[in-house]
Amino acid sequence: MATEIETFYDERTNTLTFVVFDPATRDAVLIDPVLDYDPTSGATWTESVDRAAAFIAGRELRLHYILETHAHADHLSGSQILRRKFGAKIAIGERIREVQETFKRVFDLSNLSTDGSQFDRLLVDGEVVRAGSLSVEVIATPGHTPACVTFKVGDALFTGDALFMDDYGTGRCDFPRGSAEAMYDSIQKLYALPDSTRVYPGHDYQPNGREVKWMTTIGASKAHNPQLSATTTKAEFVAARQARDKMLAAPRLLYPSVQINIDAGRMPPPHANGARYLVVPLKAMDETGAPASRT
């Protein structure tokens, strides 16, 4: 099976979206689509997802699945638009239920189901998803979130926020139920694959202002990754990762992204006035300037 990969880069969120397809049969899957969102105005638009959709339509591909590597905290998913347009199913790792349980409490989302039923398919570590002539192996790679998975198609890995470009590092591990220890173990699973295995990360942050890149290899990562190379011990990685995470600001689109993405990319239902609203937890202070206590 000779597959091809088309890459789309969203500059606003540094997100990489991939269409993986078999040119002979026109079977395809799409990984990590982006819905554009402006937090200042609350406006959404479809520039990013339209580029991928136009490619799929232009090549007359049969889109079987929209695959999410995890519930993203830095961009809204465009999965529902693609689902309606192409009839594709939305799939994510089965541990999304843990993420839903966590953030249901954070945002007080009383009507949110936490059984993962918003998604068409919950994926288990080691299973193979059949998409026509395509075979997609699911590799659980928790650490950034408990629900993170890597997708393997032939000799290509789509690693989401687990493993980034070989000159950048790994995903952060300080979100609720994230774990630097789990991240280390997840990367070791990937490093056990052949050095020639291609790696397609979920983001490229262009360190030192270089041009955007979207592919490296396991061998290059093991040799050069500044946060986790083949010689990095677990204790070294965990200490460095946790120290770095303490210095990182929250993602700009954290609150809207998580609320939308744990619900499979669905918009919140309209209120009685016809408008839709997202929740922003307020860390209020009392009159003395101290953080208000919770009762």
Whether residue 258 is predicted with pLDDT greater than 90 in this model: the reply is yes
- pLDDT, one tens digit per residue, over 90-127 is 999 999 999 999 999 999 999 999 999 999 999 999 99
C-alpha Rg value of the chain to the nearest Å:
19
Domain 4-261 class in CATH: alpha beta
Least confident among 120-129, 176-185, 232-241, 276-285:
276-285
Asked if residue 37 lies in contact with residue 252, where contact means CB atoms within 8 angstroms, the answer is no
The model's pTM is: 0.95
pLDDT band at 295, cuts 50/70/90? very low
- Residue 283: its pLDDT value, please? 81
| φ/ψ of residue 17, rounded to 5 | -115, 140
The average confidence (pLDDT) of the chain is: 95
pLDDT band at 285, cuts 50/70/90? low
Whether residue 220 is predicted with pLDDT greater than 80 in this model: the reply is yes
- Residue 284: its pLDDT value, please? 72
pLDDT band at 30, cuts 50/70/90? very high
Overall average pLDDT of the 1-13 stretch: 93
- Residue 87: its pLDDT value, please? 98
- pLDDT, one tens digit per residue, over 58-72 is 999 999 999 999 999
Q: Which two tokens stand for residue 152?
A: 């393997």
| φ/ψ of residue 238, rounded to 5 | -60, -45
